[in-house]
Structure 1
């Protein structure tokens, strides 16, 4: 008889085993970590300096130190680090990114649907905050090549000064995602389009309406569908 369960590798209590509570508690700790799986982040290659009991991280590629040899595994802190090796179909919520990943059997992915040979479609949201100055700003928020853009939402975080309003769009279509948007703090817009395919990396642009920007700050959220073959 195996000493562990076949899927989660939980330790099993042996017949006539002494101190059964040790094995039972070990199984509960691992089950507690794997059930409703959520990790703090997925970019670390070494452990954080002051972990709390129950903290979980998805170990990034190239891990070292206490995490060496555990790439793509779940690191659980419980008076020391222990690791859970994922299996195909596991899902994990990454709190730092508000993103859900699924394990394909070979890697963690944000795919919505996939094919046996690796084709997949993903829904992605990217966020940036932009300080306003001048007549327009070509932001670091870029619609990637060969994606379908669903829209760009905006929120005025700090009241816009200089300009009476602003547009959100691209260099070719300056108000594609919203025109004459509110300058007051708290103003919002959900700039839904098409959807439309883009065939080149295209920065999102914020343009002043009327006079040039002398101040203000906006948050932009880009939503796209991406594909792989």
Structure 2
């Protein structure tokens, strides 16, 4: 019969064993270290100078010092010494300084969304990725254009070069003054994403287009109608697909 459990190597209490509390307490310490695993960081290859009691780390590659040979393992500071926990396939760990969950695949710690093929929510995400790194992505780029004035206003954010645009949506967040309406588009196509849009606060538009590729960084232009802009704010969002190159 083995003297430890199969997965966490927790020590068993043995028949006729003296000082059983020592073995029991050791098992509790190991469980306390590994259950609900939360890692300070995975960026260190050498032990920190003043770790907190119970602090846990995923050891970075090319580890040195006491951690030498522990690459990819979990190191925990307990009772004034480092304890090593060899990582096992399927282990999950919350990494505090990255605010994300990692999973040990048997070869590397990967973000859970990558290991499981999930699509994370964010301003820019890859929805498909090839073995050599090529990707197809989706992105949303936002900006609020405030203190509108003059005949037109260009955004500082742009449609990226080689992006495929699905549309540009807009919301009037502060009532526009001076103009009776406005267009949303680009230079040369003033109403490409919507024309004669509402100036009242809360007015919105979903400016969808047939998917179109752009071959230069291109700002969005708001153009005043019925007079010049003298105030107001409009929030825009560029909705697009991206093409990532293979490595």
Common topology (TM > 0.5): yes
Cα distance change of structure 1 residues 225 and 100 upon mapping to structure 2, 3 Å threshold: closer
Helix, strand or coil at the partner of 1:99: coil
Give, in angstroms, the shift of residue 210 of structure 1.
Answer: 1.2
TM-score, normalised relative to structure 1: 0.64
Give, in angstroms, the shift of residue 208 of structure 1.
Answer: 0.5
Contact 1:154 1:189 in 2 (8 A): yes
Question: Equivalent residue for 1:91?
Answer: 113
Alignment of 1:161-172 (within 5 A): 161-172=177-188
Q: Deviations over 1:55-109 (max 9, x none)?
A: xxxxxxxxxxxxxxxxxx96327xxxxx9677346218xxxx95188xxxxxxxx
Contact 1:12 1:24 in 2 (8 A): no
Contact 1:145 1:198 in 2 (8 A): yes
C-alpha distance in 1 between matches for 2:30 and 2:178: 68
Contact 1:91 1:100 in 2 (8 A): no
Question: Equivalent residue for 1:129?
Answer: 144
Cα distance change of structure 1 residues 147 and 171 upon mapping to structure 2, 3 Å threshold: same
Q: Which residue among 15, 24, 27 is the counterpart of 2:34?
A: 27
Q: Which residue among 14, 27, 34 is the counterpart of 2:11?
A: 14
How many residue pairs align between the two structures? 169
Contact 1:161 1:216 in 2 (8 A): yes
C-alpha distance in 1 between matches for 2:170 and 2:111: 35
Cα distance change of structure 1 residues 3 and 152 upon mapping to structure 2, 3 Å threshold: farther
Cα RMSD for the two superposed structures: 3.3
Q: Relative to total residues, which structure has the larger strand share, 1 or 2?
A: 1
Give, in angstroms, the shift of residue 191 of structure 1.
Answer: 0.5
C-alpha distance in 2 between matches for 1:136 and 1:157: 17
Structure 2 stretches lacking a partner, 5+ long:
14-22, 40-92, 115-119
1:178 lines up with 2:194 in the alignment: yes
Give, in angstroms, the shift of residue 126 of structure 1.
Answer: 1.1
Cα distance change of structure 1 residues 190 and 23 upon mapping to structure 2, 3 Å threshold: same
